[in-house]
Structure 1
Amino acid sequence: MTDAIKIDVWSDIACPWCYIGKRNLESGLSAASEDEDAPTVEVTFHSFELSPDTPVDFEGDELDFLATHKGMERAQVRQMLDNVTGVARGAGLEYRFDLLKHTNTVKAHELLHYAKAHGRQAELAERLMSAYFTEGRHLGREDELVSLAEEAGLDVDDAREALRSERYLDAVRADQAQAQAYGINGVPFFVIDGKYGVSGAQPADAFAQIVRQVWAEHREAAPAEV
């Protein structure tokens, strides 16, 4: 039996390119899944905070945040947001930067580790990113996070306790330390089988091509069946 390809994804739920990269990865894997010898793939999400110093309740919208915290000209920010909105639309995502509530994401990352421990990480990652970029939900607030956890099939009371106890904060920090060890300084970043690194929101075709290539390597390395 051929071992599954392991794809480790470093991302932040507040990173617009991360959601696009996630969707493109899914589209690429879907295309490869139609092959006669379809790859088996396991995807795991890891924590990366783009702006760990962000307050939970940031006063202003995304344009304000980038202009004041990143020192960018407002016209440049507007153009950048328009561009990423167009790219997102091409991936089937309708970004609403006019609704977006910029916030600190460490609690969302803790919740993703909780979801991973309960077999619902993929579902929660999708729910958090959709809520943040398309629905204007405030992901820095506990009540909002546990509500989304429930929508992803998790227990509300247990999820709330996990956040309050910071049970998974060490796991978040371990992910960040691993990213630093790998030399990751921007996301999304995809590590395939612990040896191939793919940076940025690559097109779906690129993801399909690389998993096919790596799957062929797996097949060559697999012991012959008796």
Structure 2
Amino acid sequence: MRINGNTIFIPGATSGIGLALALRLQEVGNTVIVGGRRTELLERIAAEHPGIDTVRIDTTDKGSIAEAAGEVIASHPDLNVLVLMAGIMRVEDWGSPHEALAEAEATVTTNVLGPIRLIAAFLEHLKAQPDATILTVSSGLAFAPLRVTPTYNASKAAIHMFSETLRLQLAGSDVQVVELVPPSVQTDLMPGHADDPFAMPLDEYIDEVMGLLEAQPDATEILVERVKFLRFGEVRGDQAQVIATLNGTDAVVAAA
């Protein structure tokens, strides 16, 4: 993915990593369109950041995706980058399966069906553009499970494998598939997470991502250093240690 000169649509970018990335991408010379459900947030972003365009989209709703895709393509026919940022992270207790099921279904709808439907809505347009990119967003938890978020882990593993396979199918086209693999980052993805001292500061994360995008335009995965502990546990042969550390059962590492 080239670092500038793009027209980029980022659904799910009204806060957190999505908004921070949108602002940095605009700063380096891209046209950026931010999508989200809440019109008040979109209006605030447009007012506070001149040049950022906005569109209302609910990525859990097929009709909303189709409507927003038509609006974005009509307004920005040179759109060449789609960043699939929308996602939710819910705690589930499968000791109470009926309660857990509702959270699991919402997570799959947002984190798996949403990105797949967005790709379907934009892919034909992107295939007609030079230097097009689909940037998917998985997680370090796609590679090592956090005990309290089973469906989130599974949804991000699905996005990882979908990205790998879509890349194979689009080989030879002008559409690059790049997977952003965040570690834990200080955002409001879960209550209290923005102040979690063990999570990576948001600005530090975006700085490193932007540096990697610029230095590695042909990368298939964008991996900041902090996520490599989770990403490569199986490769290193220490996956059991990674899972224990992640879930707080390794007293020595947890205390460090």
TM-score (norm 2): 0.26
Ranked by relative contact order (alpha carbons within 8 Å, sequence separation 6 or more), the top structure is 1
TM-score (norm 1): 0.29
